Amino acid sequence: MDERFRVGVHCSRGIGPHRGGRKHNEDNFLIATRARAWFMDGGIEREVRADGGAGLMVVVADGMGGHDHGAMASGAAVRAMLRLYARGRPRDPGTTLTHFVRAAHTRLRDRAASAGAHNMGTTLTAIWIIDNKAWWVHVGDSRLYHLRNGTLFQLSRDHIRAEFARRDGRPTPPRPRALSQNFMYGSRGLGNDTGIRIDEGIDTGQIVIHEHDRFLLCSDGITGRLSHDGLAHILQPRGETPPSATAQWLARAAMEAGSDDNVTAIVVQIERLLALDDNTGWRLFE
């Protein structure tokens, strides 16, 4: 792992069927940095080489469509993002990230449809940290949060009916909290239902990172049961408590609060910044 970052992850089926939860885990994640990458493969965390990658890429994907299709969709999403990471440092990370997600959606959706898996889909929330900046893109209702100086900001917006109606100035529709679109699946009543809507500056963004910043990427198995204040409380750094312990605490708190869904939490902590030349952006030292 790149020593500039510390990353902790919890990704599981949750409370399990014996307590009224899911039988299988349809969530997945990607952590890629320093030529190594980690993700779920067949219910087991797998580590692979990621040659050529730049910085740190973290992704959360919450699959839908039943176990086989949901796990397949989230797995396809994180592998697609790993291919992007392995291409190396892009000239324009934000544009590259957004364009790739749109193109990958079309390619994977067509492939799933040709196999008869029309209901296959997944959320996709990704952040890519290169040098001292972070770029992000979001589809679905997983979430991305940013903690700085004790204050928690929700960067992503849930892709539900009420959200898109608000953006377009339309009346609040029936079932306002119903999910409106997923990666691979497409949208639901947003016009071209084969595509996905990613509004620049709302579903994408860029942040100059600071030392001790924390980012949280999580599925709705976490946010469905924990309030914003509850998340902020758990995410606060506490001495030498590592992000891995924070991710486990988030998952445990969500399950204790009644979550019966799959639970995934990824906590990224910025340990230190790179010293860069202000004019060229080249690293002076690491």
What are the residue boundaries of the structural domains of the chain, listed by start?
17-216
Mean pLDDT of the chain: 92
Q: Calculate the alpha carbon distances from 45 to 14, 243, 277 in Å.
A: 16, 17, 38
SS3 assignment, position 244: helix
Q: Are 45 and 7 in contact (CB under 8 A)?
A: no
**Across residues 164-186, what is the average pLDDT?**
94
CA angle 115, 63, 134 (to 5 degrees): 115
Q: How would you classify the pairing of strands 181-182 and 186-187?
A: antiparallel
Third-level CATH fold of 17-216: Phosphatase 2c; domain 1 (3.60.40)
Q: Are 60 and 115 in contact (CB under 8 A)?
A: no
Confidence of residue 280 (pLDDT cuts 50, 70, 90): very low
C-alpha 151, offset from chain centre? 20
**Across residues 177-200, what is the average pLDDT?**
86
User: What tokens appear for 223 in the block?
Assistant: 């946010």
Task: List CB contacts of 151: < 8 A, sequence separation 6 or more.
Answer: 232
Q: Are 148 and 213 in contact (CB under 8 A)?
A: yes
Q: How many CB atoms lie within 10 A of CB 65?
A: 22
C-alpha 155, offset from chain centre? 11
Q: Which residue, chain included where needed, has tokens 């990224």?
A: 268
Would you say residue 265 has pLDDT above 50?
A: yes
User: What tokens appear for 70 in the block?
Assistant: 């949901």
Query: For residue 110, what pLDDT is reported?
Result: 93
Which among 93, 243, 232, 74 has a CA at the least distance from the CA of 142?
A: 74
Residues 40-89: tens digit of each pLDDT: 998 899 999 988 889 999 999 999 977 679 999 999 999 999 999 999 99
**Across residues 172-187, what is the average pLDDT?**
93
Residues 107-123: tens digit of each pLDDT: 999 999 888 887 899 99
Q: Which of 18-27, 190-199, 273-282 has the lowest mean pLDDT?
A: 273-282
- Work out the widest C-alpha separation in the chain, in whole angstroms: 59
Query: For residue 68, what pLDDT is reported?
Result: 75
Residues 232-262: tens digit of each pLDDT: 999 999 888 899 999 999 999 999 999 999 9
Enumerate the β-bridge partners of residue 275.
285
Q: How many CB atoms lie within 10 A of CB 68?
A: 13
